[in-house]
Structure 1
Amino acid sequence: MKTQVKALVVGGGAVGTSIAYHLARAGWEDVMLLERDELTSGSTWHAAGLLPYFNMSYATTHIHDYSIRFYKTLEEETGLNAGFAVVGNLRMAQCDERMDEYMLYASTAETCGVPYEFMTPEQVKAKWPLIRTEDLKGALYHQTDGYINPADVTMAMARGARQRGVMIERKWQADAFHWNGEAWEVTATKMIERGGNLVPSDEQIVITAEHVVTASGNHAQRTAKMLGIKMPAIPVEHTFIVMDQDPALVEFRKGEGNVEHPVIRDADAQSYVREERGGWILGVYEKGAPARFEYGVPDSFRADLFQLDLERIEDQYMAMNHRIPSCEECGLKDDFNGPICYTPDGNPLVGPAPGLRNMWLAEGFSFGITAAGGTGYYLAQMMVDGEAEIDMASLDPKRYGDWMTTEFAARKNEEAYEHVYILHHPDEERPACRPLRTSPAYDRQAARGAQFGWVNGWERPNYYAPEGFNDHDSRSFRRGGWWQYAVEEAKAVREGVGLIDATAFTKHLVKGPGATAFLDWFTSNKLPAIGRINLTYALTGAGTTRTEYTIVRLAQDEYYLVSAGAWTAYDSDYLKKAIEDKAPEFGYIECHDVTTQWGVFAIAGPKSRDVLREIVKDADPDTVLGNKRFPWLTMRNIELGMVPVRAIRVAYTGELGWELHHPIEMQNHLFDLLEKAGEKHGMKLVGARAQNWLRQEKSYRAFGTELGRDATPLEADLPRFVDMSKEFHGKQAMADHGIRAKCVTLLIDGPEDADPWGREVLYYGEERIGRLTSGGYSVAFGKSIGMGYVKPEHAEVGTRLKVKMFDRLWDAEVTEDSPYDPRNEKIRKDG
């Protein structure tokens, strides 16, 4: 057994095996996989093996698509049949809203080239007569989908890995991880059988590995403790039952041309059904399924299951009998109630571990069989090439910060489990563990009708509504009940003045003798002069956009960095690791995450200066806010009432405005001052949804939508924020990329009752040429608006395109960048 390797993969389920295979296929030698028991002995062995394409995430759709295509090639390569039954996947809808959901998903799937077909209830009945269809509205059918044998596909990947030189060692448990400054030293213990249990022996070795990947499944909490990190991957009980043969099904299969039934997903009944040797398997996603192993898996738990709770799944069982009446005569043959790992948002944790070098996580897979192939492929790209060909940020382990606790993860994972088949409204807000992170003004905002969204744990107003309004009931795939309030808020900013809570912004203080040289290398734009600001980008090694920063220069070697609120730990980890790497070259640098020390209010609109004049403390309050003393894109320390404010003259809405960064403990005093001063000017409280619409009217790109690790700043059409005269990280790689796609803004003549959400496919004639990344409504133009990426030849202003919404193509036109106030005259307004 080798004790020095290039990469060590810990965990021998489908995910770990795929990662080892793909690292070897990508050219790495000396790859080893450790499994504490037998391959597939974790959740893999009792997985149902379904391969659902359906996912609202662009990255996850790509991962699932790769897996399904990859599994079909394994037998030819390895000689082992992976047990892939390409039977199709039929998603049925009992209500119009479910069909709306399927149409939104289908447009997203189309951006990734995933095939699908919509079917009427009559078409379903004609093809599969055992299904009751009179209460259906329709169905979505994936012809290339199906199910696979989890053990067979894992063994096929294991053989393929061995054929490529991977060493697979069973009955070895990773018990300690130590970074020696250059590589990982992993202490592994030989496991032995004793009385039916698996126990550690006295035999230990230390394996030195340049890279380590953890794919420990149900044991993720144990892994996290050994690494000294937090990881919200905790299993939840998942049940499926196997039925005896169904004579009606057997008879159906005898019919001429009748092949195996597709996987039947009755989302409105929270269940799936598939064929199994002439009978059926029923799997459920019910309420009340508990999280397990919050603090680690007991040593006695191996390939074990939990006791079946039939009462908990009674509704789903009865729904199966309703949907397939012949099931009612089938007896129960077997049951499986085992742990399946989840995360709070249902997406896995894939990427670099926070704070650690060359430590990679692949944990929290609720759909592990579906995601295993694609995860191995794209994670291998990240490890070998530096970046994947798709933006993997939405799966990054650092999307949850150190504020996350075990209790939070367990409760949110239970919620994610029961939400698998609940309608996934694009404007949904899930209630578990809320409110948790609140700014001081939270209670004041709630009293004024704020309907809150969840951003990195923070409560942030989405919009404001009258007393008695129910946010849950207002959600829709079209224009929900909240839409009218967001319109009023957007108009208030364009015509008068609005106040927005932006406290969730990520904020870092970077200072020290080496700070200027470091930031000049780290970011793409010129650094601002003292008292001024700029917008800039930190790039990946591949030249794509890693982070967007607003940089405020406070002193010669002191900078205040503001970035997206959803990505605090993500940004902080990258920034601090880069400083650690470059400090020997540039000199001493300090970096402090000051996010929770500063609150932020954004005041914007033609009357915003009038409101601030009421409360600014200065010898000349009439001119202190004018262009001469306080021009656009500058920062001034001012006093508003008794609050010292770091005021930045910039507005994400594209109107005259300021960001008011203030000591967070003084927030309520400042809120009261602004509210009182704003009364006579008609100031309106404004939420994030209106702000999102307004920033699209200005073509302001947002990180996580237009900006990410799959496009360069030049592809985002932001050359004005890239200084090619200097050297900066990722510059040459950015140039080498060229312009593969280009970001554009579109005005859309869409449905009268709906706007795009930013997930839709774009067409030029019959050709699929891009996708939307943002969408909404424009109060300035009175129609839908969107931003997205298209092939460069279709990015010219005036180009007529089509957007797919609700299974129809709608007219759209590429407009000029910043279609609202393109010369920024309103932002620069003097007074």
Structure 2
Amino acid sequence: MTLPSKARVVIIGGGIVGCSIAYHLGKLGWSDTVLLERKKLTSGTTWHAAGLVRASLYTENLTKLAKYTVDLYTGLEAETGQATGFVQPGSLSIATNEARFEELLRGMDMLHAFDVPAEKVTAAQVQEKWPLMNVSDVLGGVFYPKDGKCNPADTTMALARGARMKGVKIAEDVKVEEVLVENGRAVGVRTPEGTIRADYVVCASGMWSREIGAKLGVNIPLHACEHFYIVTEPMEGMTANLPVMRDMDACAYYKEDAGKLLLGAFEPKAKPWGMDGIREDFAFDELPEDFDHFQPILEGAIHRVPSLEKVGIRKFFNGPESFTADQRYILGPAPELENFFVAAGFNSIGIQSGGGAGMALAHWIVNGEPPFDLWDVDIRRLMPHMSRKSFLVPRVSEALGLLYAMHWPYRQFESSRNVRQTAFYEDWKSLNACFGEVAGWERPNWYAPKGVKPEYQYSYGRQNWFDYCGAECRNTRENVGLLDLSTFAKFLVVGPDAEAELQRICTANVAAVGRAHYTQWLNDKGGIEADLTVTRLRDGRFMVVTAAATATRDWHYLKSAIRPEARVDLIDVTTAFAALGVMGPKSRALLSKLADADLSHESFPFGTTQGIEIGAARVLAQRISYVGELGWELYIPAEFARGVLKLILEAGAEFGLKPTGMHAMDSMRIEKAFRHWGHDIGTHDTILEAGLGFTCDFSKDFIGKAAVEKQRAGNVLKRRMVQFAMEDPALLLYHNEPIYRDGRRVGLVTSANYGHTLGAAIGMGYVSHDAGVDADFIKSGKFEIAIAGVRHAARASLRPMQDPSGARMKA
């Protein structure tokens, strides 16, 4: 094939994901697309995939992509004439302990909310569906009738044929030697066959993606691990109608393969591969066998399927697959380079994700946005340190095993920790903090009493820190809690046009000097792109404060939203300032002993910002709260941080001050029904549905205003955020539990925690009703929330159940 000199899109990589993107771009009418594969299609990872296809994933929107994949594969052979081998015998996950059974049943509830069939089955029913299985230690399981399997190489060829049928050009044996960049924008590729200028470049290059990104300054933190499976000789009882079976407690999956058994593993500690790079001629390669590594899996499999002991092994396979630092794949526009998109790091679920991910990225390129909120896999969630081998190699070794490990609530990664520490880390450590990690930062999640080891003991019940967290909440409500907020991302926005640009981007009016303005940033459809505070420090100088997890995304959104001609500079000052939250009814009395300022309500009203002196430090104090109590956020120059902390700890003894962790803060914010971006609000939740319309100043123009006004003019909101409290105080919510009203499913819990002030598990979630969701609709219905297959009574409220007027916070 002679390569064109120009194309609308160039895709690098001819695995199932690259071919799916090409197929879907063609389907959207972008036939001027070229896919380049360095060797042959499927020659990297796709060819040796096990071919498992599930109709569900961990979240609602990822499940939409999985369901789309199933629907696509169902009709792909008829459309293209290329066989895919796709069949749907279903899949079966079994439990051999109560905790795993609860996990499966909670997952089943979630899938019901997504309209994915899932059925609880007994051990006897498991035996019926899988007659060769030893069920002596099986408690039961869940059967997923829509799940299936396919031939990965054939399915990829079908997508490639479908793409060609729509005019897309696919060239094999053409290596991309360089991605061309001009003025911060990807503009094409250079190959030995010539240069192709392009409007967009897509990296769908599997385990080569990190290397490609590194050359461009694009962060793509993934790494290959060895992945093992065996294929037996023909085995009696291996019939085509057997569902795929997962015994996650034994780290194993089972699949019928043309009368043979394919046994695969996600072992607890995986073997990273390719630390020194991947050789140039790597294609359709296998890695050396390692029976010692696989032996524990095989021994467990012989227990589960005893007849396996009597059959020979035809094939021991070991091949590389790419895994990411957080078990979720990487999708979307690179924040570091315009018009460069990434689809990579599929964590051994590339076949089941290929169809949906290809559709989503094609939609993203063509329409400038994903088809729905894909924050779970958005490349902008990732941090630069994640690509460093010292972090990535140990982390992916753990991440592979966690695919089948127990997915405990609040589970923390054990590898690659202590990467980023706040100025107060050693102080919290000396106070017996148990740390959690977000965006690489170590944050105190809870504090253990003296003599108690600060370590998690996981369960689906009340974990070992439950009572300690409750004590932290009560102390904050009654006295003073001290929180480390240093991990908040902090951006300065400066320049002659800073005010004009922020007024256009923010829903709130941010003109007032010395005020911390709670605001949203919206998209043109009124969806919430960011949830944060903006403080005007003085003319032409603003500070944006947002969450650590969304730092890269929010920076990218702000940078993209500012008009090119605007005279504005952005400066990331996150690490220049430590931050403490001093929260509780005695916080004013405590800080008044230390500060040189009048902290009375009259002199320092809620929402204002002032510079104050504490000891030798000049501190920026904001009277604002995420826990619903009187309090201040103190932004302290990093070099003075520990000195200020020492003064607060010493003075705080008189006022009952106690260090307080992130779990307590989350509990208290949920009691106050404060929203959390990424859970309760996102790009496809409108500001009115979220109950945040009060942040909008309609006297000025802002991005998304027209969409908000249109929805407001309709006078009926068919979907609204509602707060729930379980009637039974023993129950626990975590999120993704279905919400029922009068027996009909009407929503899903988006975030939850135990409310220690209210004395019950508290959840938040959207409720939908075609005739509108209002106070009468909430009051007149009987609400229930499903937990592990059982529905339980819940109280519902449109107003915060804790201090609904905000009197405590504004005292």
TM-score (normalised: structure 1)? 0.93
Structure 2 counterpart of 1:802, one-letter code: E
Match of 1:588 in 2: 567
Matching residue within 627, 631, 634 for 2:605: 631
Alignment of 1:295-306 (within 5 A): 296-306=277-287
Query: For 2:441 and 2:287, how far apart are their aligned partners in 1?
Result: 36
Q: Which moved more, 1:276-285 or 1:54-63?
A: 54-63
CA displacement 1:184-216 (0-9 Å, x = unmatched): 443342xxxxxxxxxxxxx43111111111100
Match of 2:744 in 1: 767
What residue identity is the alignment partner of 2:764? M
1:311 alignment counterpart: 292
Match status 1:603 vs 2:603: no
Checking the alignment, whether the CA contact within 8 Å between 1:220 and 1:234 is kept in structure 2 is no
Distance verdict in 2 for CA 1:156–1:734, change over 3 Å: farther
Give CA-to-partner distance per residue, 1:344-400, whole Å, 9 cap, x none.
Answer: 111111011022111111011111111111101222222222322321112111212
Q: Would the alpha carbon gap of residues 406 and 577 (structure 1) be closer, same or farther in structure 2, given more than 3 Å must change?
A: farther
CA contact under 8 A between 1:535 and 1:549: conserved in structure 2? yes
CA contact 1:185–1:206 (8 Å) conserved in 2 = no
- Given candidates 293, 311, 314, the residue that maps to 2:274 is 293
Q: Distance in 1 between matches of 2:774 and 2:35?
A: 47
- How many Å apart are 1:522 and its aligned residue? 1.3
Give matches, 1:391-470, under 5 Å.
391-404=373-386, 405-467=388-450, 469=452
SS at match of 1:361: strand
Q: Quick check: 1:11 aligned with 2:13?
A: yes
Q: Is the 8 A contact 2:187 2:201 kept in 1?
A: no
Give, as a single letter, the amino acid of the residue that structure 1 aligns with 2:531: E
Counterpart in the other structure of 2:248: 267
Are 2:143 and 1:141 equivalent residues in the alignment?
yes
TM-score, length-scaled by structure 2: 0.95
Structure 1 residues 516 and 471: CA distance shift in structure 2, 3 A: same
Distance of 2:523 and 2:369 partners within structure 1: 8
Question: Which residue of the partner structure matches residue 324 of structure 2?
Answer: 343
1:466-485 alignment, distance < 5 Å: 466-467=449-450, 469=452, 474-485=457-468
What residue is the counterpart of 1:48 in the other structure? Answer: 50
Distance 2:242 2:209 in 1: 36
Q: Which moved further from structure 2: 218-227 or 342-351? A: 218-227
What displacement does 1:731 show? Answer: 2.7
Is 1:175–1:187's contact at 8 Å kept on the other side of the alignment? yes
Matches within 5 A, 1:614-625: 614-618=593-597, 624-625=598-599
2:475 aligns with 492
Residue type of the partner of 1:764? R
Moved more, 805-814 or 735-744: 735-744
Q: CA deviation at 1:685?
A: 1.2
Q: 2:143 & 2:455 partners in 1: Cα distance?
A: 29
Distance across 2 between alignment mates of 1:802 and 1:388:
33
Query: How much has 1:736 moved relative to structure 2?
Result: 5.5
Q: For residues 346-745 of structure 1, what are the structure 2 equivalents within 5 Å? A: 346-366=327-347, 367-404=349-386, 405-467=388-450, 469=452, 474-579=457-562, 582-584=563-565, 587-618=566-597, 624-735=598-709, 739=717, 741-745=719-723
Measure, in 1, the Cα distance between the counterparts of 2:520 and 2:506.
5
The code of the aligned residue for 2:722 comes to V
Q: Name the CA shift for 1:614/1:756 in 2 (closer, same or farther; >3 Å).
A: same
Contact 1:386 1:541 in 2 (8 A): no
SS in 2 for 1:421: coil
Report what 1:165 is aligned to. Answer: 167
Q: Which residue of 2 aligns with 1:229?
A: 218
| Higher mean C-alpha deviation, range 448-457 or range 20-29 | 20-29
Superposed counterparts of 1:36-185, under 5 Å: 36-53=38-55, 55-181=57-183, 184-185=186-187
2: CA distance, partners of 1:764 / 1:76: 42
How much does 1:76 deviate?
2.1
Q: What is the distance in 2 between the residues matched to 1:79 and 1:270?
A: 37
- Residues 1-40 of structure 1 deviation map (CA, whole Å, 9 limit, x = unaligned): 3221111111110001111111221232312211111111
TM-superposed CA distance for 1:295, in Å, is 5.1
Tell me the equivalent position of 1:194.
none
d(CA) in 1 for partners of 2:774, 2:463: 31
From 206, 210, 222, give the equivalent of 1:217: 206
> Is structure 2 residue 788 aligned with structure 1 residue 806?
yes
* Cα distance, 1:818 vs structure 2: 2.1
Which residue identity does 1:812 align to in structure 2?
A: A
Contact 1:355 1:577 in 2 (8 A): no
Decide whether aligned partners of structure 1 residues 542 and 337 sit closer, same or farther in structure 2, where only a CA change above 3 A counts. Answer: farther
Distance 1:722 1:156 in 2: 49
**2:799 corresponding residue in structure 1:** 817
Please list the CA deviations of residues 89-133 of structure 1 after superposition, one character each: whole Å capped at 9, or x if unmatched.
Answer: 111111111011112222222232211011111221234321111
Q: 2:581 & 2:269 partners in 1: Cα distance?
A: 41
Question: Equivalents in 2 of 1:24, 1:541: separation in Å?
Answer: 26
Change (3 A) 1:475 1:469: farther
SS in 1 for 2:213: helix
Distance 2:102 2:454 in 1: 19
Distance 2:427 2:474 in 1: 23
Q: Which moved more, 1:773-782 or 1:113-122?
A: 773-782
Q: Distance in 1 between matches of 2:165 and 2:330?
A: 28
Q: How does 1:774-789 map to 2 (within 5 A)?
A: 774-789=751-766
* Inter-partner Cα distance in structure 2 for 1:213 and 1:741: 36
Q: Distance in 1 between matches of 2:678 and 2:129?
A: 42
Shift in CA distance, 749/315, structure 1 to aligned 2, threshold 3 Å: same
Residues of 1 paired with 2:110 and 2:585: CA distance? 38
SS across alignment from 1:75: helix
Map 1:324-335 onto structure 2 (within 5 A).
324-335=305-316
Matched, 1:208 2:193: no
Shift of 1:470: 5.2
Question: Offset at 1:85?
Answer: 2.1
DSSP 3-state at the match of 1:173: coil
Number of residue pairs the alignment of both structures matches: 798
What displacement does 1:279 show? Answer: 1.9
RMSD value, Cα: 1.8
2:590 aligns to what SS in structure 1? Answer: helix
> Does the 8 Å CA contact 2:516/2:624 hold for their aligned counterparts?
no
Alpha carbons of 1:309 and 1:411: their partners in 2 closer, same or farther (altered >3 Å)?
same
Output the CA distance in 1 between the equivalents of 2:621 and 2:14.
Answer: 54
Contact 1:528 1:534 in 2 (8 A): no
Q: Which amino acid aligns with 1:674?
A: I
Q: 1:385 to 1:469 in 2, by over 3 A?
A: farther
2:718–2:773 CA contact under 8 A, matched in 1: no
- 1:472, distance to aligned residue in structure 2 (A): 5.3
Q: Which moved more, 1:549-558 or 1:219-228?
A: 219-228
